[in-house]
Structure 1
């Protein structure tokens, strides 16, 4: 490490400069007419804060440039004004000057489409062109504000231009290049001594005269510099910008007509030949349509002044921001807008901010970007105690949650989200049930097995019928995320419970859920649990419930029929060896594929309404019967008994005679064919009527059980 530090001009430690370059970081050269800086990324030794380290070697530099470097270091340490690149520390050691600033990149190294963000922009696309103009407008406002702050402190910058502007990590522009900063009363001795180092077009016309007096409108020097910055950024292309110092003249600057129309008037005022007629920077910021008509610039200003606004102004602004944020530069939304929104949460979160976050999140296709920039904001919104904010974030859960990292959802979002199940507000409970559908795939298996059934059961006891209905449907929609070994038992309990719900849509939802999840039940479960539980609803007083119940019964019986044929086929092939109870048809290509209607689908496209609250619309694709095939499940039921009000029968053995009643003589009737009969078209005899005769010689009797569910047996 010591060798690396020495190779780039650092010793092992620099007194009074606790900053170290990052190993492997590349270097960038910031060429200016006055000083050539070497830039590299570094970090603070104590706080590990990221910085950019500027360095310049004084050994081979002419004396007057050495003075400029030392002057720049002094000004960087002392000037803490808005819009000025913030300097964290500076030192001179062994003929080298070091400056540590906030992370930045030189504006002069970026292409026109990257000034303020890595946005790849071309002038051919109107939307991207407007986004680029917004970036420049905000940058000019930042630089102009820095110059105005200097003027209020009786200082001029004297070196405003593209090579003295740097772009920080949020995409905002910052003014640097402080080597020519001087006081109003010191312009003649300081600025004029070194301004000859600047290109000719960068020097105001009056300063090129030998009889220039500094007692006039001194701030006009920076007005000319701001006009040069506009010309270098918007007036020429990237290829020509590198040759401006050799090819550009004052007349070229003043005659530029390629600027946006809203900037022409303000630009002409900044570069007037007569310094007394030249507009000052503050006037340009207040009157330029290029800046004041930009929604992006005004929104960023409002976010900066958010703490000074009252509640009504904040609410109006958040609603306006949601309507215009889609027009902002994408990377500006990522780096700047979201950051300022999070800062505004300190003063309270308004419901309107959720819509803004949703629109920004929709423009983040990269999972890495989403996790870095959007996820922290979503977590902060879930932590809000404002009920309207909670409701809004739940309403947009399907748009915001799927792209979040599962670890963040399970570890940080779930605990806040789950509190909505116990909210006193019915709308929050309802949308918490709906939000379970997008959030479930991001949860761990432990969370799904332990927590989700508990909250589903809680919602199924809610006083609001639509909430009970939506809880049932939500469980059906997340069926595939539940571990296979828990599905049949959980579904039987949760869906079976709702079959007796007094709210008709809730019973319908339970039936459709059974229909949809029938593939997760074994044949034994269907015979012992599903059919006995569903059958009573075939006599329901509501026609829709009866129809759906019959559909489920038909699908269940088809499953049992397919299972019967599969068992019969396997026993024939295996020497009539009867398989044990619970054998399931696992052959998805066999007779089980003919099961009708067991693959009922859910319509999740919209939300219907019932009463005062809305209910998920759950519709089967089958009509009046079953049309789709359902492969038989392969896993036996984990529980052998029925769960819908069934009672255990007393233990009865086959040889237990006490459980049988007295023998009753049963006289079976014998069918007799009348003498009149006809033949059908196939030649078979078809009787006209059937009668029965008594046959006392048939003495077979039936014994009937006294108790239990026992069947009769012949003797």
Structure 2
């Protein structure tokens, strides 16, 4: 083999240029030619090379080779092997043709089905009819070894070694017909009896009709023909073809059926050539000029005969014609559906070279029917499309569908996102795609809004981590407020599907509050789904917080080592939920040591401390001048020695609802600069007893601002937190108060609003009853009030 290649290369180098490279040798039976696979050096396209080497053993057959070259150059027909180039020298003859394969390969392997054989015989019969009738010639070499199949699976006629025109002065077949390999086995009865010159007195088709009959026998019987006696056995030949077949192999050439008549009988209604496969092959050549009704009929036949065609015929012959019809002939979606069915048989390289360019051009077509069909069938195409093609060519065209006025285009565009998103870049997904999906989620069509929500839920894993939770939370919470029930339900299902994409903070602060209103939705399907979704998020929160510590409050031991305020422990008594949750100080008396720094508190000033009294404050006197005052005046020194704690704010008038003088409105507008001045030194006032009670209001060492509390008289303490006094506060100027066992109780000064100035109540005179106005209780004193809102104040 290597020697043969080197010899051919040496011959080429010495002869005229032949711009083709020889490849593998192909076996050919009963032929004067050697067949090689070849490639064209210029573009690398494939071809076949028929080679005839002139030497002593082949020189006698040189006229046959030269006749074949001449006839191939002059006889052009679709059923004849297409010639590309030839080179002829004294030592060799090369013929470059389209890439072909010997039919004998398929016949010996018995790989051809009946319908494919009929289709091949039909095309061969058409070619022979042309040669006999139109060209007035005799082929003379019709056999399996003279027929080749192209890359598209079509049968092409070759073997023109003795092809002769009856118009020639000296036809080659009469003189050199006997030089054909196995000429005796394939020769007609008249030739066997009278030689090749016997054909001069016969019809031009006589020899070819006989050889066409032997061809029929060979292809249906896997090439088992050895002599003419076998021809009478027609078991494997289709029944409707048997009668015409037997007329082809008549011993008498006068009664022998011509190939033209055989073809005519086969094309009759229900004839052996009346098959869908043959009709499709004829139609595909002229598809571009056919009417819409004719194309519809053709496509129906093509669908019925898909398995009967050779796979190569779909790829090389029908597919290009279908693509032309889709792009330029108005074939429409139905034609393209057949294209996709054929495309399943193509490799990725074949897909990219044949179908991908057509798809890119079709996406640029503004026809809505074509766009909808492309989007609908995108799952069949996406695996064959590269990421670069999708991002650069197809996706930009898809974006126009999101804004189309036709709802069907917008809806199909949203659905197609699920198919195309795996091949989109992060920039395309988190940029253009999300922008257009935001528009479709506000679409006027509820179905499009619903599908957009579903789409976002399914493509959530492709979103960038920086925008995922933000986009999904905003989109799903918006859909939860949609007035379309299926949109709300879709949002809940999408939230369930994406629960793992949110952290515990988002789940607790955004998702759970957004889902909760759906628990009372008017539609049961939404309520049921809301309960499932909420349970999923609560479980998610529980899982994420399971690793949290029990508390972040430092332990007492650690707190003593660090100079931080000491806090009490949380009360766990569930029976007293109204009690204070935390005590600011411990209950150990030993820790309360030292003196408390004196602070000039407004409460102390109001209790008669020896501070400088403002002249604007009126003096107070007992109701009876002669009545002894049993209370003791507390000096500044004794006041300083008294343990001072934060008094309960405004408890003297806020807690006693029955005391008519404890009217908060009677205080008017308090002026801290004038009212809380200390009394004059020469007029000491009774002091209220001081107690050493720790106030629950204190969370640090600073004394509470009682003045600020008094100014907030319109928002008194919540109900239940202010303890009512069981003993009415003594009125100013009315006798002496009862003394307790531990000492005298001083009378309390209670300022009363009378005309904007402070005046004491005169002893013996009936105190004017002032109507006590009800103070609104923001903590829920009223049964109808929403006490939970007060926590936000």
Q: Give the alignment's TM-score, normalised by structure 2.
A: 0.65
> Is 1:227 matched up with 2:213?
yes
Pairing 1:367-446 to 2, within 5 Å after superposition: 375=356, 378-379=359-360, 381-402=362-383, 404-446=385-427
> Is 1:282 matched up with 2:265?
no
Residue by residue over 1:579-601, the C-alpha shift from the partner in whole angstroms, topping out at 9 and shown as x without a partner, is xxxxxxxxxxxxxxxxxxxxxxx
CA contact (8 A) 1:508 1:548 kept: yes
**Alpha-carbon distance in 1 for matches of 2:434, 2:556:** 45
For the residue of structure 1 that corresponds to 2:96, the secondary structure is strand
Partner of 1:43: 40
Partner of 1:202: 186
For the residue of structure 2 that corresponds to 1:351, the secondary structure is helix
Q: Give the alignment's TM-score, normalised by structure 1.
A: 0.72
**Alpha-carbon distance in 1 for matches of 2:169, 2:232:** 24
Partner of 1:158: 140
**Alpha-carbon distance in 2 for matches of 1:666, 1:69:** 121
- Measured after TM superposition, the shift of residue 474 of structure 1 is 1.8
CA contact (8 A) 2:457 2:494 kept: yes
For the residue of structure 1 that corresponds to 2:244, the secondary structure is helix
> Is 1:92 matched up with 2:73?
no
- Measured after TM superposition, the shift of residue 711 of structure 1 is 8.4
**Match of residue 510, structure 2, among 523, 529, 546:** 529
C-alpha change, 1:229 and 1:420, in structure 2 (3 Å) is farther
**Alpha-carbon distance in 2 for matches of 1:50, 1:264:** 39
**Match of residue 78, structure 1, among 74, 80, 96:** 74
Pairing 1:233-248 to 2, within 5 Å after superposition: 233-236=219-222, 240=224, 244=225, 248=226
Pairing 1:489-508 to 2, within 5 Å after superposition: 489-508=470-489
Partner of 2:597: none
> Is 1:269 matched up with 2:320?
no
**Match of residue 288, structure 2, among 304, 307, 316:** 307
- Measured after TM superposition, the shift of residue 529 of structure 1 is 2.5
**Alpha-carbon distance in 1 for matches of 2:210, 2:402:** 63
CA contact (8 A) 1:38 1:54 kept: yes
C-alpha change, 1:418 and 1:184, in structure 2 (3 Å) is farther
C-alpha change, 1:463 and 1:454, in structure 2 (3 Å) is same
C-alpha change, 1:372 and 1:52, in structure 2 (3 Å) is same
Larger Rg: 2
CA contact (8 A) 1:30 1:39 kept: no
- Measured after TM superposition, the shift of residue 90 of structure 1 is 0.5
Pairing 1:642-653 to 2, within 5 Å after superposition: none
CA contact (8 A) 1:342 1:377 kept: yes
**Alpha-carbon distance in 2 for matches of 1:254, 1:50:** 41
C-alpha change, 1:191 and 1:526, in structure 2 (3 Å) is same
**Alpha-carbon distance in 1 for matches of 2:792, 2:464:** 43
**Alpha-carbon distance in 1 for matches of 2:253, 2:411:** 68
Residue by residue over 1:87-140, the C-alpha shift from the partner in whole angstroms, topping out at 9 and shown as x without a partner, is 0110113511111111111222345557xxxxxx5xxxxxxxxx7222222221
**Alpha-carbon distance in 2 for matches of 1:488, 1:464:** 26
Aligned-residue CA RMSD (Å): 3.9
Between structures 1 and 2, the one with greater strand share: 1
CA contact (8 A) 2:79 2:156 kept: yes
Pairing 1:111-190 to 2, within 5 Å after superposition: 111-112=107-108, 121=111, 132-151=113-132, 152-186=134-168, 189-190=171-172
For the residue of structure 1 that corresponds to 2:548, the secondary structure is helix
- Measured after TM superposition, the shift of residue 569 of structure 1 is 6.8
Partner of 1:452: 433
Partner of 1:19: 19
Residue by residue over 1:255-312, the C-alpha shift from the partner in whole angstroms, topping out at 9 and shown as x without a partner, is 3332232332332232222223222223323322675232222112111121342222
Residue by residue over 1:421-460, the C-alpha shift from the partner in whole angstroms, topping out at 9 and shown as x without a partner, is 2333322221222222222223333332323212322322
**Alpha-carbon distance in 1 for matches of 2:445, 2:488:** 14
C-alpha change, 1:43 and 1:695, in structure 2 (3 Å) is farther
Partner of 1:30: 28
Unaligned runs of 5+ in 1: 115-120, 122-130, 578-653, 671-691
> Is 1:258 matched up with 2:236?
yes
Residues matched between the structures, number: 579
**Alpha-carbon distance in 2 for matches of 1:12, 1:59:** 16
CA contact (8 A) 1:14 1:93 kept: no
CA contact (8 A) 2:139 2:160 kept: yes
For the residue of structure 2 that corresponds to 1:347, the secondary structure is coil
